[in-house]
Structure 1
């Protein structure tokens, strides 16, 4: 009996100890001066809890699940935020960190990538420094941060189902390219296209036009156009850097402003959720999206500027040097240190094989057609759905995975069935194509991992906090554009930037409109412009960032050294972005009609190209 009592008492004590082991579920850290929502887990249901910081007391009560939420806690200069029970005992703490630490990892990764001209060690250092910042800059934190870089962040990136799908369809497309190239299909397409696109200018325009045709998804656009156009651009002595620029600067911009794309569903969901927080404003999300398109100055100007460069044959800056090198017969940069620099060099046609365009065209049509069918299948929920709703709600990752797998099967079946390749040669060609993507996939996973680190560090929240205070109404869209661009540049994700900032910028813009007595239909253009600037700024930051997944994919598909792609694209993206802000976003924020800003901005871009641009001559 005594023994039983001891066991029962021991269990009760253990239960009490466990019940008292409250912990901070989120966030991992709190930035000094930046509002944060703090969630305490494992508290007793109904238990009163409080936080005292900076002379302000925050109080709440644990719910039935033992969770307590403190909203908008702003930390003072103390080392920790302490959660106390009703007896005044500290039951949980979360560390307070200076906000500038949150932007250190991405900025360090970008600096090292541009300095070392090798993105893999740069990304890893960024992840490591971010993990250390979360743990504390101590010897133990430095060592544990190195382990967490893989155990926590790389693992989390690989465990994400959408990331796994991106890896799979990218590898499958690489395998398809390997088969059709070895079968002579790509050589046949090159020969056919060169008969029409037989100059540098016509070739560049053809690549641009292909980018507009595949408008419905940026990933498919990048991978299909880049892989298809690369042999053509090589034959025409167009540099890999120029190809990557055209591919990258058409894919996301056209997907951002087209009426029916895989982006639309995501964007509409974000807009709707943000607008739902404003009781006085009840305009439908799709109407807001449509009204925001004229204010998307960067995507529109980027598309037209690419066409101007393609048609004129003019270039400037690092791109001019790359084109001069290419005219001399060296289409790839000499220092092949980055992703995809030598990706497709071992993918040559089988000796003496007959060139048949159908061997490549049919798998590519299956890839595109399968993608459209997949988008329809995953996006249709009822018979009343419009095409816009279907495409907007579609799961593009699943559709791409299905279509790429079908394309591989068709390419293999044709190669074997037409007796162009044996089974062994087909598998070997597929493996060569897949192998060409391995290095780039490592970079992609590391870029995702760094994005996870910046999420835990609340990089976006810090940028909003330092740039979003006391704004004049007319400058609100411009500030949102800059914050979105900086966030996308630092985190490497345009979709993540939109998801993080849209819930913040719409209520913020409306609040500033109310403060200025402008919350009326005559000033709704400010809100439309703010929404457009979130989307456009995210795309601009993505284009400028060496840690962006879409920038990496453009390098992969174009077979270009990744750092060289970033280095040559940056001056063009900066020029268009600055003109978009100064001539487009700011004047329209103060009421200038959007079409005047667009026309003036395009004229400035064309004149700049005319005076700075030079035709490439072989060196």
Structure 2
């Protein structure tokens, strides 16, 4: 999953890059501030019509955003924002404000909804650890890799492996990168291209998979806002329905598919691929690759464990079936029909019951096969759960700042100064652009969601009410835009640890990976922005997505060049 995005530079090249990145961050923050500025004719607003804190209600989220951008530390930044809000509602007493911030955090964790979502994150990731320890993940990847015959098929199977391992971006980076690295090397696929393929099927896929370790967090973000705003409906259903509006992820996956099937590239990636095909140098001269450390022995299956693809398929089936079944049960099925049950379901209950049941069944599956000892499987479960600890902490602190922002009336103030000129139709586009900037500069999708969701959903609700529009009209595009903007940075920021892990497990120079991948991410971002612009102009969803996708495809073929397909160990190529 997506914990704090931070790493220590390992070379002078990375030091220089990070210093430049921080300077760029200062410039990019101006773009993030555009959202507040648009909401801003603040000082000219009628104070009588505004909440009691007026323009100062913007202080907690703005400080949290600025600290995220400048320090790259998400949890302390979110807490400081909560502390400022607590101070404001405590008659500006910072000591009482400190206590109020902590109270918001424990109230969020102590809430039954929050506790269930937190537990789901741990249990679902623990189940992934069991699948790794029992050999299920290895079997799935190995089954894909047996049919490779050329560099193109090596890239295609890398993409497919990343999509198949859809439930956890860390697992995608670690397992697919490690497994496909020797295969792609033998077919002269550059390290830059391999790390791009792995990175592009990590976070972008996990966020829209429907059932993944990300889902609990994303549903939790929606559910909190629905509960506080009194919006009826299932948060899980809203998440599922928002997936077609997560334009960046969908277009990024389209782009990586075009790259693989067409054997074309552009920019620095084109030079890297032509170098690898012609000379066999999968790394440029002078590159400093991030070498992956040995895998955690508790997550490595024993050598004598047979590769059974069913050991990957069955746990996924368990998870899907149990979660869907519990959604129906909590919604009143069979007393009510399927559609009504899904609409009235309790997603947090379904997620926690379903993930626990699937974890138990997965443990039993591997133990009955004697794939590993029970103690080894339990260690895998614990190591898997540990992997999402920091991400779970971000979740808790994000809920805390959500409560804090509500207490000072940030959304109400923004509405009071924007309701006469801010159209609900433009909120998805503004949300996506702001999310792109924040996530790129902080490297965390979770932190970006935690900052944006408690602002834009209440803002949309109140602006829609002021405009006489049903709140659900632009809810799905707005929620989708939050997720899309947040994933952009997770996908390509140099301080995103998914990006770093892709470099590490693929054996790529990290800066080379970032430099070659960033043009592709920006192109997909432009296409997504075009899609949200079409939404603002009144086009329907599918046409908006088609416009964005067509723009990206046309631009890609216009600027890209052909790369030969390496088809044999003897060096034969074909155009």
Normalized against structure 1, the TM-score is what?
A: 0.58
Cα distance change on mapping 1:192 and 1:426 into 2, 3 Å: same
Residues 441-472 of structure 1, C-alpha deviations (whole Å, 9 max, x = no match) = 3333333334344333444445545555435x
Q: By how many angstroms is 1:124 displaced?
A: 0.8
Gaps of 5+ in 1: 1-30, 37-52, 57-72, 76-80, 82-94, 115-120, 212-220, 277-284, 512-523
Q: Distance in 2 between matches of 1:568 and 1:146?
A: 44
Task: Kindly indicate whether the alpha-carbon contact (under 8 Å) linking 2:460 and 2:475 is maintained by their aligned counterparts in 1.
Answer: yes
Aligned residues: 469
Are positions 1:206 and 2:160 aligned together? yes
1:111 is displaced (CA, Å) by 0.4
Which has more radius of gyration? 1
Matched, 1:124 2:76: yes
- Check the 8 A contact 1:207/1:247 in 2, yes or no: no
* Alpha-carbon separation, structure 2, partners of 1:610 and 1:459: 45
Which residue is 1:366 aligned to? 318
The structure with the largest strand share of the pair is 1
Task: Say whether the 8 Å CA contact 1:99–1:462 is kept in structure 2.
Answer: yes
Indicate how the Cα distance of structure 1 residues 384 and 420 shifts in structure 2: closer, same or farther if over 3 A, else same: closer
2:135 aligned to which of 184, 191, 195: 184
In structure 2, the residue corresponding to 1:470 is in which secondary structure?
coil
The 8 Å contact of residues 163 and 205 in structure 2, kept in 1 or not, is answered as no
1:246 lines up with 2:201 in the alignment: yes
Aligned-partner SS, 1:236: helix
Residues 309-318 or 414-423, more deviating: 309-318
Residue 392, structure 1, aligned to residue 343, structure 2: yes
Helix, strand or coil at the partner of 1:380: coil
In 2, Cα distance between equivalents of 1:251 and 1:459: 31
1:194 corresponds, among 121, 145, 156, to: 145
Q: For 2:542 and 2:111, locate their aligned partners in 1 and report how far apart those are by CA, in whole Å.
A: 42
Q: Give the conservation status (yes or no) of the 8 Å contact 1:189–1:357.
A: yes
Write out aligned runs for 1:50-129 (5 A): 73-74=49-50, 98-112=56-70, 114=72, 121-129=73-81
The equivalent position to 1:308 in structure 2, one of 247, 255, 258, is: 255
- Displacement, 1:558? 8.8
> Any conservation in 1 of the 2:318–2:358 contact (CA below 8 Å)?
yes
Residues 1:157 and 2:108 aligned together: yes
Matched, 1:504 2:504: no
Matched, 1:354 2:306: yes
Aligned counterpart in structure 2 of residue 534 of structure 1, from 453, 470, 478: 478
- Shift in Å at residue 611 of structure 1? 4.9
Pick 1 or 2: higher relative contact order, CA cutoff 8 A, min separation 6: 2
Q: Which runs of 5+ in 2 are unaligned?
A: 1-39, 182-192, 439-447, 565-575
Contact 2:117 2:352 (8 Å CA) reproduced:
yes
Distance in 2 (alpha carbons) for counterparts of 1:466 and 1:335: 52
* TM-superposition CA deviations, 1:240-273 (whole Å, max 9, x none): 67545434334555769xxxx998xx89x97xx9
Question: Could you tell me which residue of structure 2 aligns to residue 514 of structure 1?
Answer: none
Please report how far the alpha carbon of residue 157 of structure 1 lies from its aligned counterpart in structure 2 after TM superposition: 3.4
In the alignment, what sits opposite 2:550?
603
Please, which of 482, 485, 489 is the counterpart of residue 430 of structure 2?
482
CA, structure 1 residues 594+137, in 2 after alignment: closer, same or farther (shift >3 Å)? closer
Is 1:456–2:407 an aligned residue pair? Answer: yes
Would you tell me which structure has more helix in proportion to its own residues? 2
Match of 2:397 in 1: 446
**How far has the Cα of 1:554 moved from its partner?**
8.0
The CA distance in 2 between the partners of 1:453 and 1:318, in whole Å, is 45
CA offset at residue 131 of structure 1? 0.8
What TM-score do the two structures reach when normalised by structure 2? 0.62
State the Cα distance separating 1:476 from its structure 2 match.
5.3
Aligned to 1:420: 371
Alpha-carbon distance change, 455 to 352 in structure 1, aligned in 2, over 3 angstroms: same
